Chain A
Amino acid sequence: MTRLSILSNVNVDIIRSYLDKKFDIYLPYGYNAWFSEVLDESSGLIKFSPEVIVVLIDVNAALDKCSSDSGRYSVINELLSEINVVVQKFQSCLVLVNTIDVVNRQIKPIGMIDIGKVLEAKWNARLQRLSKEHQNVRILDLKSSIEGIGRRKFYDLKMWYLGNIPYSIVGFTEIANEIELLWRAYFAQRKKCLVIDLDNTIWGGVVGEDGYQNIILSESKEGARYRDIQKRIKELKDLGILIAVISKNNQEDVRQVFSKNKYMVLKLKDFVAVKANWVEKAKNLGELANELNLNPDSFVFLDDNIVEQEQMASIFPDVAIIRIDGSSFYSERTLIDAYKRYFPTLTVTKEDRERTEQYKNNRKRNELVLNSINIGDYLSKLRIELSIGLASQSDFERISQLTQKTNQFNLTTRRYTVAMIDNIANDSSHLVFIGRVRDRYGDEGLVWVCIIERNGDSAIFDSVLMSCRVMGRKIENAAMAYIEGYCKKIGIKMLHGEYLKTSKNAPVEDFFEKFDYRIVQEDEKGNKQYEKELTFTLPFPKEIKLVEL
């Protein structure tokens, strides 16, 4: 389990029970002990060695001691500088810092700007700067949570007076959910494809019966509910989530809605695939999974029909299923909740934005395979270009993302945050290589990562991984040939490899064998250690054009 520590100036012990199924939790013990534990190198906090730190400050408790506005300013300044120390000290952790809600409880003249608003603005400005400067610092938006739920429900004054506990059960539950959401988003634990139905899902009515001009879909009133659903789906697509249609309909009817109904927000080109036919939906999904080279557990299925949902669940229990409730006016909520639950995202990379195009290009490549006489012929026709070399700062985000997401073509499955990649790349004993791939159908972006740790005249492969969508194109042959050549040039004589078996990385279990590495050790779990003396370098596949970065 992930080690999480919550640093707070008030009693937040209750939150433990809402998070302890997912996290090992450490709370500094004792009133206001949080900051001294940050400073003290022998404290329980430092020994615990947290991976996630939540700074959950209740400023009202801190401000309560002040009687003047200048006193309030200095309390806020002091807290912010303490937070700064936390950020400096825990650079390899995910650090979540809360926004504040200053509650005015004093009796004082009315009709003036509330000092609380000024303090909140100051706090927010600092947090915004911190989160811009530090990839690992993210904002826990307590203020928005309180606004959504309302102060009366969020705070619990009785618990405050009884035990220094500021929030209600509702409040703590909300905070716990937000923490979990940010954590999942940071470590990119998300699904990849949203599969949607059409009738009574993204428009009202049945197009096959009502016709494309009579379905319920409009700018305002009843049809706006569906238009809002479409807007939310479009936003998901723009965040790099693939969207596809699986619907029992005539293809021609569907095409007409997309091309002729002017209220459609979603366009055909937004979808990675549209399967409008009368085949069982699970069968369509199975085909789609094959075409996109994704596991069923990467899919979320949105449908209004409970029978369809149950059929899908019986055949693909790993597909997540969500339902549009036709009787509710707030159906877009289903999408917003689905986003939080299955697709949370903190940042969007270039690769994310171009994902739909890339998967579509892949389908074109598959067609090319069918028209080629052999693999060499196919690869030559593809005109692949591999740009490879050492990573630079602007690649770190994507590298981290790949280490977090790649399961199949991943030799060691080591997961790294952006901050960790930053450390590794700036460490003189490590080399971080990246490869970008382009071919006649488009740009795949950064799809290959290899991290090497050098030790004198030998080196070990810490990580070797590749996005699974470029598998089967000899990219790895070209990349390994380049990397071995690079190593030889800088005086490395011996290379060590490692394969750490997981439930998903069977596709690369013979990776090092393929490149003539010798097994030096193999354990009962299937983990293997290799070595190879660098006398010859590997042949470079002639179908691939190499560009050195």
Chain B
Amino acid sequence: MDEFLDFVSVILGVDKESISMETQYGTIPEWDSMSHLRLVAEIEDKYDVSIPFDRVWQIRSLSQFYDYVKGKES
């Protein structure tokens, strides 16, 4: 989980301390629609998972992304 937040902070270009699993889409300026798509692409690439097309815009928090990383959702 820690490593996941590390990864996300690098992609968003923010301090790790400024985000948590509860961080929501749009609540920090760095997480906008463009970086949202980049998160999808980077997470899929790194963790070898696939986030279904119709779920991409339903993801609102980092914990929802993490569910895919853990393989809870598929």
Of chain B, the residue at the smallest CB distance from A173 is B45
Mark B residues whose CB is within 8 Å of A. Answer: 11, 13, 33-34, 37-38, 40-42, 44-45, 53, 56
- A11, A17, A161, A168: the one contacting B45 at CB < 8 Å is A168
Q: A159-B41, A163-B37, A169-B45 given. 16 additional CB < 8 A pairs?
A: A11-B34, A13-B34, A14-B38, A17-B38, A156-B41, A158-B53, A158-B56, A159-B40, A161-B53, A162-B37, A162-B40, A163-B33, A163-B34, A165-B37, A165-B41, A168-B41
**A170: Cβ under 8 A from any B Cβ:** yes
CB proximity of A393 to chain B, nearest CB, Å: 46
Mark A residues whose CB is within 8 Å of B. Answer: 11, 13-14, 17, 156, 158-159, 161-163, 165, 168-170
Given contacts A158-B53, A162-B53, A162-B56, contact A169 B34 (CB under 8 A): no
Asked if residues A14 and B53 are in contact (CB atoms below 8 Å), the reply is: no
Main secondary structure of the interface of B (DSSP, over half): helix
User: How long is the Cα–Cα vector from A161 to B33 in the complex, in angstroms?
Assistant: 14
CB proximity of A152 to chain B, nearest CB, Å: 13
Please give, as numbers and ranges, the residues of chain A lying within 8 Å of B11 by CB-CB distance: 17
Of chain B, the residue at the smallest CB distance from A156 is B41
Asked if residues A169 and B53 are in contact (CB atoms below 8 Å), the reply is: no
User: How long is the Cα–Cα vector from A17 to B35 in the complex, in angstroms?
Assistant: 11
Of chain B, the residue at the smallest CB distance from A20 is B13
Please give, as numbers and ranges, the residues of chain B lying within 8 Å of A156 by CB-CB distance: 41
Q: Can you sample 23 A-B contacts with CB below 8 Å?
A: A11-B34, A13-B34, A13-B38, A17-B13, A17-B38, A156-B41, A158-B40, A158-B53, A158-B56, A159-B40, A159-B41, A161-B53, A162-B53, A162-B56, A163-B34, A163-B37, A165-B37, A165-B41, A168-B41, A169-B41, A169-B42, A169-B44, A170-B45
CB proximity of A435 to chain B, nearest CB, Å: 50
Closest A-B pairs by Cβ, 6 of them? A169-B45, A163-B37, A169-B41, A14-B38, A13-B34, A158-B53
Main secondary structure of the interface of A (DSSP, over half): helix
Please give, as numbers and ranges, the residues of chain A lying within 8 Å of B53 by CB-CB distance: 158, 161-162
CB proximity of B58 to chain A, nearest CB, Å: 12
Please give, as numbers and ranges, the residues of chain B lying within 8 Å of A13 by CB-CB distance: 34, 38
Please give, as numbers and ranges, the residues of chain A lying within 8 Å of B56 by CB-CB distance: 158, 162
CB proximity of A441 to chain B, nearest CB, Å: 55
Of chain B, the residue at the smallest CB distance from A13 is B34
Asked if residues A159 and B45 are in contact (CB atoms below 8 Å), the reply is: no
CB proximity of A150 to chain B, nearest CB, Å: 15
User: How long is the Cα–Cα vector from A14 to B34 in the complex, in angstroms?
Assistant: 8
Of chain B, the residue at the smallest CB distance from A11 is B34
Count of CB-CB pairs between chains A and B under 8 Å:
32
Please give, as numbers and ranges, the residues of chain B lying within 8 Å of A163 by CB-CB distance: 33-34, 37
Please give, as numbers and ranges, the residues of chain B lying within 8 Å of A11 by CB-CB distance: 34
CB proximity of A160 to chain B, nearest CB, Å: 11
CB proximity of B39 to chain A, nearest CB, Å: 11
CB proximity of A458 to chain B, nearest CB, Å: 51
User: How long is the Cα–Cα vector from A156 to B44 in the complex, in angstroms?
Assistant: 11
Please give, as numbers and ranges, the residues of chain A lying within 8 Å of B38 by CB-CB distance: 13-14, 17
Of chain A, the residue at the smallest CB distance from B56 is A162
CB proximity of A20 to chain B, nearest CB, Å: 9
Please give, as numbers and ranges, the residues of chain B lying within 8 Å of A17 by CB-CB distance: 11, 13, 38
Please give, as numbers and ranges, the residues of chain B lying within 8 Å of A162 by CB-CB distance: 37, 40, 53, 56
Of chain B, the residue at the smallest CB distance from A14 is B38
- B13, B33, B37: the one contacting A159 at CB < 8 Å is B37
CB proximity of A26 to chain B, nearest CB, Å: 16
User: How long is the Cα–Cα vector from A30 to B33 in the complex, in angstroms?
Assistant: 14
User: How long is the Cα–Cα vector from A14 to B53 in the complex, in angstroms?
Assistant: 19
CB proximity of B19 to chain A, nearest CB, Å: 17
User: How long is the Cα–Cα vector from A156 to B56 in the complex, in angstroms?
Assistant: 14
Of chain A, the residue at the smallest CB distance from B43 is A169
Please give, as numbers and ranges, the residues of chain A lying within 8 Å of B44 by CB-CB distance: 169
Which of B11, B41, B53, B56 has the most chain A CB atoms closer than 10 A to its own CB?
B41
User: How long is the Cα–Cα vector from A416 to B38 in the complex, in angstroms?
Assistant: 37
CB proximity of B35 to chain A, nearest CB, Å: 9
Please give, as numbers and ranges, the residues of chain B lying within 8 Å of A14 by CB-CB distance: 38, 41
Of chain A, the residue at the smallest CB distance from B12 is A17
User: How long is the Cα–Cα vector from A169 to B38 in the complex, in angstroms?
Assistant: 9
Of chain B, the residue at the smallest CB distance from A163 is B37
User: How long is the Cα–Cα vector from A189 to B38 in the complex, in angstroms?
Assistant: 32
Please give, as numbers and ranges, the residues of chain A lying within 8 Å of B40 by CB-CB distance: 158-159, 162
Please give, as numbers and ranges, the residues of chain A lying within 8 Å of B33 by CB-CB distance: 163
Which of B33, B37, B40 has the most chain A CB atoms closer than 10 A to its own CB?
B37
User: How long is the Cα–Cα vector from A170 to B44 in the complex, in angstroms?
Assistant: 11
User: How long is the Cα–Cα vector from A158 to B50 in the complex, in angstroms?
Assistant: 10
Of chain A, the residue at the smallest CB distance from B44 is A169
User: How long is the Cα–Cα vector from A168 to B44 in the complex, in angstroms?
Assistant: 10
Of chain A, the residue at the smallest CB distance from B13 is A17
Please give, as numbers and ranges, the residues of chain A lying within 8 Å of B34 by CB-CB distance: 11, 13, 163
Please give, as numbers and ranges, the residues of chain A lying within 8 Å of B45 by CB-CB distance: 168-170
CB proximity of A31 to chain B, nearest CB, Å: 13
CB proximity of B37 to chain A, nearest CB, Å: 5
CB proximity of A14 to chain B, nearest CB, Å: 5
Of chain A, the residue at the smallest CB distance from B42 is A169
